[in-house]
Structure 1
Amino acid sequence: MFNSLIAWGRAVLRKMGLIKEINAISDIRPIPINDSFYEAIDTWLALYKGHLAKYDNEPFHEVEFTTIEGGEQTRRMHTLGMPKIASKEMASLIFNEKCSINIDDEDLAENLGNVFEYNNFYKRFQNDLEYMFASGGLVAKAHVEVDRTGEKQIKISFVTADCFMPLSYSNDEILEGVFLNISRKGDKWYTLLEWHTWEGNEYVIRNELFESGNAGQLGVKVPLDTLYEGLKATASIENLSRPLFSYFKPNIANNIDLQSPLGISLFANAIDTIKLIDTAFDSYHREFLLGKKRIMVPATAIRAVTDPETGEMRRYFDASDEAYEAFSFDSIDAQKIYDNSVELRVEEHIKAIQSLLDIYAMQIGFSPGIFSFDGQGVKTATEVVSENSKTFQTKNSHETVIEEGIKNLIASICELAKLEKVFTVPEKYDVSIDFDDSIAEDRDANANYYLKIMNNGLMPKYMALMRILKVPEDQAKRIIQEAKDEAATELPDVDQMYGDGA
């Protein structure tokens, strides 16, 4: 869906003032975010993809240089790709195959498990979190679709921050928003705006389609069936307590727009360091290119001369060999050959890059040393994570808001399931997220710690089990009761108690 052409189209539209155009034609709700913030999102995504041409009107990954003949040229800088590496590392630390979503109601747990399986949630969510850390935000939207068998299924769609615009929010929770989808058909550009708003107690979804012959313009409004057959212009839903989407963002204060509910990228405040890292890596790469062996020979030595005896053209040196450089010497040593090999500054470059990586790690919430450069590439030292490390603290900080986002998504799914009668939802249920802390936590030591407190009478059994297994209170109490019931049925037989009577 989000191929490079469409991504390019979105960037062009924003730079041409798309938000202003939407506000100008819309009678629904003005967008309280300006173009400059979405330009920042475009910058973060460009860094994540590995190439940012300019930043603050200055060259970033496009290096300008002057040739010996005075010509101006540009080349693309070699990069380490640290925005991608950092986003991936943080996402994998937080959510992986060992994470689990626990529901205290068995039937609901099974139904939600089927929803997550239908959407490949556990496989996709880590990648989607990576996009969230890169772009500063992620929206998970729930809707109902009919599968091939004719059964209703709840579909979860993920949208990155550059395709979502908030309309209203309260206590930092986004309540209304507009989703943006740009596509191309033939020589026409189409922009679908999907508005999610509240009108009194009704949750209203409106769809508007615009057509333009220019990628830089919103164009004119056209019927929805021009591109989307069967899509309704308006849908009103009653008895909803929350929106049908959940907004995720990194747990980082937005210091770009202090009034905005949107999040910022994991590396939003480390862009200068990223440039220094890539500049050092580019210099390291070119050290081998520019520092290659060169032999200076007289220009006359590479000219072709005629052998007076055979009449054949001969050279003393191979003119196509790049090791040789021809010079005209104006001295008595004009016929000497000079080896102009230079010493490569490998260790200096590696030390410089490593020091910059440590600064970068500190700026984005990792412990120094988490990234290491060995001259061949960057390695991540996840084994150094411990409970008192900066990496572990940052990981837990992000988990707080991500857990809340998952709970909100589940609430939206449950409300949609009740309205569309996809499955039954109990009046009350409890949700807990068991993130994988095994990278920094000894489960046996953790269990022994809480068991020791419980055995000393300082903590009830269910509370100890909640902390050991990371399950909700009701589930912990149910496990304890099931264990008691099972133990009660496993009574010893009479022969064991009183002997065999012999």
Structure 2
Amino acid sequence: MWKNLIAKLRQVMYRMGLIRGIQSVYAKKEIPVNETFFNQIDVWKALYSGYHKDFHNVKYHTINGTKTRRMATLNMPKVVSQELATLIFNEKCSINISDETLAENIKSVFEANSFYMKFQDYLEYNFALGGMAIKGYAEDNQIKLSYVTADCFIPISWDNAGIKEGVFVSEIRRRDKKYTHLEWHLWDGPEYVIRNELYESNGSDLGVLVPLNTLFPDLQEETRIQNLTRPLFVYFKPNTANNIDLNSPLGISVYANSLDTLKSLDIAFDSFQREFRLGRKRIIVPASAIKTVIDPQTGQQHRYFDATDEVYEAFNLDQDSNEIKDISVELRVEEHIAAINALLNILAMQIGFSAGSFTFDGKGVKTATEVVSENSKTFRTKQSHETVIEAGLQELVEVIIQVAELYGFFSRPVEKYKVSVTFDDSIAEDQTAEINKQVLLVTNGLTSKKRAIMKVHGVTEEEAEKILQEILKEQQTVTAQAIDLFGMGSGGE
């Protein structure tokens, strides 16, 4: 009660300007991260959205003085992030769980949360902003998954195994007020603590702490949970080393080290567009030629040239010169296209794609990742990211199980379960060639039938064992039928 009264008093004093609010969430002593790194996330986010002030606001000089315009952009950050997300995770991917009952329960949770559709979207944000988090919780008598972008999650503590504690940040606008909700996920010894705070601000600062019931009348300030083995969230990031802050557990954007190239690309594309506007056809005519002439017979006004036609430019030429000149310039279309394609190849190299993955034909950017060989740079990059994504999805299954046990939705399997992810490698693999390869390896004793089944069907070891037993059983049945067909099983000669 006293805590709420003090919070309300501070709220009133802040509104009256008697006290100052906290400048930012990073100013809180409990948050041990560098605000500069999160400023970089803002840059990556702006580029992903297609407009970054420092890149795309261009000053230029005219006779009437300096003017500002917005540069045209190819928006390659969006293109490369979307392409990576599509290559790695799509509707052909499947999450395999060795325990059938658990697999059905997890499947129902995913379906209720539109997981496959949402995860691909947030995987794209993951590549663009350098990370994302998925939080598990219970609401309306079912398990919910909350997806959070990198700019709305701040790590508090971590070790080699991953991030252990963090705070989720969300902003809400109400008229002229900005409210910031902080949801802390912390460990207090063996207890897992979820703490909620609400701040009110008149401007860009974090402001002052206000009672939760200002916006959330049903939200508890603190919840303590027993018997958890891991946090109720999973943090995903691109499999790229963070060379901006080597001590941070956070990831970096796949184009974090390509900012100069991205800027050069937009300069080249902007110049390509302006080539057509500035290089349009122009004809110089004497100023006298566009003067109004009155027809002596009708009294009507006439011009030799249409004054509304933007092709003509009137100049006061020499009095003796009535020459009409075409000063149209030759457009440098091919030169611009060649320059843009050269920059696209540099960008592809920097983000881990093969040269030629992106091409510009004068109309737009085309991608060439439909057919990728297994030894190509694109495919190796794809597999690299799949490694950390699979590990994250395995953790997500564990988070769902913890929430399910906490609220009594379903129980953990008695026996240890295994989770594997089958990614879509059809863009890089010929399925028939892969089957023939595995058959050849089995025939020559270089691999087992079980491992061949795992590779071809993309299943776990337990599932491969079941398939193998089914095959052996069918083979035995076929052999018995063949013997009976020839009368060998009925006492005949």
Report what 1:149 is aligned to: none
Is 2:57 the counterpart of 1:62?
yes
Distance 1:318 1:449 in 2: 74
Report what 2:38 is aligned to: 38
For 2:157, the aligned partner's letter is: S
1:47-58 maps to which residues of 2 (within 5 A)?
47-54=47-54
For 1:496, the aligned partner's letter is: L
CA separation of 1:17/1:357 partners in 2, compared to 1, >3 Å: closer, same or farther? farther
Is 2:169 the counterpart of 1:191?
no
Q: Report the more deviating stretch, 335-344 or 478-487.
A: 478-487
Is 2:343 the counterpart of 1:356?
yes
Q: Which of 79, 82, 96 matches 1:85?
A: 79
1:277-426 maps to which residues of 2 (within 5 A)?
277-330=265-318, 332-333=320-321, 335-426=322-413
For 1:211, what is the secondary structure of its paired residue?
A: strand
For 1:206, the aligned partner's letter is: R
Map Cα deviations across residues 293-351 of structure 1 (whole Å, 9 max, x no partner): 11100111112233344332221111111000010112632x11111111111111111
Report what 1:13 is aligned to: none
For 1:235, the aligned partner's letter is: T
Distance 1:429 1:172 in 2: 20
If the length of structure 1 is used for normalisation, what is the TM-score?
0.90
Q: How far is the alpha carbon of 1:447 from its aligned partner?
A: 2.2
Q: How far is the alpha carbon of 1:458 from its aligned partner?
A: 3.4
For 1:381, the aligned partner's letter is: A
* 8 Å contact from structure 1 (residues 133, 250) kept in 2: yes
Report what 1:203 is aligned to: 192
Is 2:103 the counterpart of 1:103?
no
Report what 2:204 is aligned to: 216
Percent identical pairs in the alignment equals 57
Report what 2:218 is aligned to: 230
Q: Which of 9, 17, 24 matches 1:18?
A: 24
Distance 2:484 2:164 in 1: 68
Map Cα deviations across residues 8-57 of structure 1 (whole Å, 9 max, x no partner): xxxxxxxx95134433xxxxxx2121221111001001000101111xxx
Q: Report the more deviating stretch, 118-127 or 489-498.
A: 489-498
Q: How far is the alpha carbon of 1:486 from its aligned partner?
A: 4.5
Q: How far is the alpha carbon of 1:123 from its aligned partner?
A: 1.5
CA separation of 1:190/1:141 partners in 2, compared to 1, >3 Å: closer, same or farther? same
For 1:142, what is the secondary structure of its paired residue?
A: strand
Distance 1:421 1:379 in 2: 50
CA separation of 1:481/1:384 partners in 2, compared to 1, >3 Å: closer, same or farther? closer
For 2:85, the aligned partner's letter is: A
Distance 2:209 2:304 in 1: 75
Report what 2:127 is aligned to: 133
Map Cα deviations across residues 200-236 of structure 1 (whole Å, 9 max, x no partner): 0111100011122x23122222221221131111111
Report what 1:57 is aligned to: none
Q: Report the more deviating stretch, 404-413 or 465-474.
A: 465-474
Map Cα deviations across residues 379-434 of structure 1 (whole Å, 9 max, x no partner): 00113411111100111111111111111111111122122211122141001110
For 1:169, what is the secondary structure of its paired residue?
A: strand
Report what 2:468 is aligned to: 480
* 8 Å contact from structure 1 (residues 17, 35) kept in 2: no
Q: How far is the alpha carbon of 1:468 from its aligned partner?
A: 2.2
* 8 Å contact from structure 2 (residues 25, 206) kept in 1: no
1:221-260 maps to which residues of 2 (within 5 A)?
221-260=209-248
Report what 1:4 is aligned to: none
> Which consecutive segments of 4 or more residues in structure 1 shift more than 6 A?
none
Is 2:256 the counterpart of 1:268?
yes
Q: Which of 138, 157, 162 matches 2:146?
A: 157
Q: How far is the alpha carbon of 1:444 from its aligned partner?
A: 2.1
Distance 2:313 2:405 in 1: 79
For 1:382, what is the secondary structure of its paired residue?
A: coil
For 1:164, the aligned partner's letter is: F
For 2:404, what is the secondary structure of its paired residue?
A: helix
Distance 1:388 1:188 in 2: 55
Distance 1:363 1:231 in 2: 46
Distance 1:353 1:494 in 2: 70
Q: How far is the alpha carbon of 1:153 from its aligned partner?
A: 1.6
Q: How far is the alpha carbon of 1:487 from its aligned partner?
A: 4.5
Distance 2:404 2:207 in 1: 37
Q: How far is the alpha carbon of 1:494 from its aligned partner?
A: 8.3
For 2:339, what is the secondary structure of its paired residue?
A: helix
Distance 1:331 1:353 in 2: 46
Q: Report the more deviating stretch, 153-162 or 226-235.
A: 226-235
CA separation of 1:362/1:493 partners in 2, compared to 1, >3 Å: closer, same or farther? closer
Report what 1:461 is aligned to: 449
For 1:162, the aligned partner's letter is: D
Q: How far is the alpha carbon of 1:180 from its aligned partner?
A: 0.3
For 1:383, what is the secondary structure of its paired residue?
A: coil
For 1:258, the aligned partner's letter is: L
Q: How far is the alpha carbon of 1:456 from its aligned partner?
A: 2.8
